[in-house]
A and B are shown apart, each in its own frame.
Chain A
Amino acid sequence: KAGVTQTPRYLIKTRGQQVTLSCSPISGHRSVSWYQQTPGQGLQFLFEYFSETQRNKGNFPGRFSGRQFSNSRSEMNVSTLELGDSALYLCASQGSATDTGELFFGEGSRLTVL
């Protein structure tokens, strides 16, 4: 079974630009959540989608948004990039049939904002 796939793995943007990151969950998983990882703030929850609906949202500005498609793939978008948005963005999926509580993570997308 393929794991969680995130694209792109690395990207460089400049301030003011926008970026879209993609996440394909494990087949059959309907919940996708996103986390931002930085050296200073650690791992912080961004949002979670389940069956195309945002179910939970972290404490991030409105520049951070996401969506989920009918095939459970998810995208997150960051508009008007700031230097502080440089981070590793992790996507995680979870199956809902049996709630073991475990999240399965992708390898992340490393965003650098110049």
Chain B
Amino acid sequence: AQTVTQSQPEMSVQEAETVTLSCTYDTSESDYYLFWYKQPPSRQMILVIRQEAYKQQNATENRFSVNFQKAAKSFSLKISDSQLGDAAMYFCAYRRGWQGAQKLVFGQGTRLTINP
């Protein structure tokens, strides 16, 4: 079975600085997706960034980027120029690449605090 591990239950960063959230996963599949989702206090889960396993290039979305190390099964999220609105729970998630497999496997989450 696939597992996702986030080893940092809580992180804090000063506004405008950079923070990196860690995620490791375990799978025997070769085709899969990895995601970072953000859940603000309002609770709605929002996709931050997505990475397809077959792509070697790390995904980037504005201030958010990932460091995808497939061999090490590591998928960290870097947030640059942190803003107060980035404060939330961040979940790393895995999904098999088969189109019929809609199940997401989530890590336990990292609570990110932004200090003004």
Interface residues in chain B, defined as those with a beta carbon under 8 Å from any beta carbon in chain A:
33, 35, 37, 42-47, 50, 52, 91, 95, 97, 99-109
Residues of B within 8 A of A24 (CB): none
As a 0/1 sequence over residues 74 to 114 of chain A, the CB contacts with chain B under 8 angstroms (1 = contact) are 00000000000000101010101001111111111000000
Total number of A residues with any Cβ neighbor in B under 8 Å: 27
Known: A42-B106, A43-B106, A45-B105. A99 touches B99 (CB 8 A): yes
Residues of B within 8 A of A104 (CB): 47
Q: Closest B-chain residue to A4, C-beta based?
A: B44
Residues of A within 8 A of B47 (CB): 102-104
Is there an interface contact between A31 and B102, defined as CB atoms closer than 8 Å? yes
Is there an interface contact between A102 and B42, defined as CB atoms closer than 8 Å? no
User: Quick check: is A58 within 8 A (CB to CB) of the other chain?
Assistant: yes
Is there an interface contact between B106 and A33, defined as CB atoms closer than 8 Å? no
Is there an interface contact between A101 and B52, defined as CB atoms closer than 8 Å? yes
The smallest C-beta distance from A18 to any residue of chain B, in angstroms, reads 24
Known: A101-B35, A101-B52, A102-B50. A88 touches B102 (CB 8 A): no
A106: contacting residue among B44, B91, B101, CB under 8 A: B44
Residues of A within 8 A of B106 (CB): 35, 42-44
